[in-house]
A = this chain, B = another copy of it.
């Protein structure tokens, strides 16, 4: 991630949470006026990265940055946490049980929640165990694969 990209995305977040922007093209104009000359394609991708929601209203469309994206700057990531806290993992059907070091379950569950992965319906954390409920068997498969990959770092 380049500095330019990060800065641009910061600017996007600020603009979006500050004004009523109704299209990516409109946002583009504002960015151009501020020195960032990029195309709509790039904005589409930025907005995906930032999870900026597009909500239609009676008076036109409007974008909003959820609290999540606003304050997510320094949050612990799954990739950072898992290698530290992961112990082992088992699964059945659409459930996954992740064992962690003592007191590791809560932060890991939060990190997973924060990702908003649509494969995962939800998480429940105890002291050293996280239960993940996945959407389908296939979803569970993907999630297991990813968790193991991350944990192995």
Q: Give the residues from 42 to 72 in chain A that come closer than 8 angstroms, CB to CB, to chain B.
A: 44, 47-49, 51-60, 62, 64, 66
For A56, the closest partner residue in chain B by CB is: B48
Count the copies. Answer: 2
Q: Is the CB of A94 within 8 A of B92?
A: yes
Is the CB of A80 closer than 8 A to any CB of chain B? Answer: no
Task: Give every chain B residue within 8 A of A136 (Cβ-Cβ).
Answer: 92
Give A13 to B84 CA distance when docked, in angstroms.
29
B-side contacts of A17, CB under 8 Å: none
- A27 contacts B by Cβ under 8 Å: no
Range, interface on chain A: 35 or more
Given A52-B56, A113-B129, A124-B129, 17 extra CB contacts under 8 A: A48-B57, A57-B117, A59-B117, A60-B118, A90-B121, A90-B122, A91-B121, A92-B121, A92-B133, A92-B135, A92-B136, A93-B94, A95-B95, A97-B121, A97-B133, A122-B131, A124-B124
Mark A residues whose CB is within 8 Å of B. 20, 44, 47-49, 51-60, 62, 64, 66, 90-95, 97-99, 106, 109, 113, 116-119, 121-127, 129, 131, 133-136
